[in-house]
Amino acid sequence: MQYLKVNLPAFPSSKAADSLVKKQLVLSKTEQIYQWPIPNSQFPIPKAPFPIPNSQSLELVIGLPDRCHRRRPDWVKVGVNRRVVRSPELEQTILSAFARTCPRDRYPVCFVHLQISPSEIDWNRHPAKVEIYLHNPSFWQEQVRAAIARVLELNEDVLPQPSIPDRVGQLLKASEQKGAYLASSSTSRNDGDQEVKNHKIGLMELRAIAQVHNTYIVAEHPSGMWLVEQHIAHERVLYEQLCNAWLLTSLEKPVILSQLSALQIENLSRLGLEVETFGEQLWAAREVPLLLADRDDCADALFELSKVADLQAAQVATACRSAIRNGTPLSLDEMQNLLNEWQQTRNPRTCPHGRPIYFALEESTLARIFRRSWVIGKSHGI
């Protein structure tokens, strides 16, 4: 579970009154304060079109989609001023914000609580006061959508920095006093720019070090190691590129399709793929998605697209077919480029089908498995 709180200022148009975000992992001792919107974030919180009292805020608790989802949307809840209510507009916004992050026919776990000025609420929508109407629903929809997108990101601004255990800190001091190595002095020798760079890299410095069964990328992480499945990581990258731009390209030699029904021809037309009659039960496609243009199985891919009824499903099918296949050997540079691109996606935790992309094995877990913590302390007399 992950928790986030956005305090909305009295004058959102003022530069000095930027919103503050307090984010923490549930059941975690790490707690950090961030300036909102974060400068490097792809999802800045939109400014309010009207003055907001200081008492207004947005609190969000979600189950990360790679670990927590439900068979029914019964855990998508909205609360206003400490009371659980129905708000169809906000509930639909929550579900759309989690689109293509949960498995098919699964729903997110999300609790949103709004502290709103009473003058902005119309309680007369339902006799039992269980359903409300907000006077500015579009503003709150944008706030909820941006907050969910921010939590689903995967970078050093969102993830907490790993805290150094007391025993490890004592170990470092003991080692420095014995002259084995001088961590503090070596740090002081570095120039200021290098220190700033190292601090900026922080938790999200993933370094590809190996490939397992030509399927999983082993990445070294400051707090442990990650396993990333290369196919679905690349699928997530391509899917978001297709969502940003569904590009079609013309072919010198048309692709010939056969045995198409009227519904399949209509589906292709919705995607911008016009086909022409080429003979008896034959059709010619002269434009295809850019990612499929150079593929040997382009005809099979177009036949698959003819069976989907909406653009989003077509984008998922195209990304899945075009992504790096499991079993493909990659060089270290290719693995590193894939990791860098994957980290910059909007929803890096799951693929468009809802499968988890990575598995994190923290250093503390490794230490517990190998029973290493007490050995280190004992070997240095701590």
DSSP 133-183: EESSHHHHHHHHHHHHHHHH--STTTSPPPPPPHHHHHHHHHHHHTTS--H
CA distance 110 to 92: 12
Is the pTM higher than 0.75?
Answer: no
CA distance 354 to 66: 7
CA distance 376 to 382: 9
Angle of helix 137-152 relative to helix 88-97, nearest 10 degrees, comes to 30
CATH architecture for segment(s) 205-382: 2-Layer Sandwich (3.30)
User: Where in the chain are the domains?
Assistant: 2-152, 162-204, 205-382
Please report, in tens digits, the pLDDT of each residue of the chain (382 residues total). 777 777 775 434 333 333 333 333 333 333 333 334 444 555 555 554 444 444 688 999 998 888 888 999 999 999 999 899 999 999 999 999 998 888 888 999 999 999 988 888 888 887 877 888 888 899 999 999 999 988 888 755 555 555 555 655 566 566 556 554 444 434 444 444 444 333 333 336 889 999 999 999 999 988 889 999 999 999 999 999 999 999 999 998 999 999 899 999 999 999 999 999 888 889 999 999 999 998 889 999 999 999 998 999 999 999 999 999 999 999 999 999 999 999 999 999 999 999 999 999 888 888 888 887 554 445 555 4
Within 264-335, strands assigned E span 275-279, 282-289
Q: Which of 324, 318, 234 is nearest to 268 (CA)?
A: 318
Identity (one letter) of the amino acid at 67?
A: R
Q: Write the CATH number of the domain with boundaries 2-152.
A: 3.30.230.10
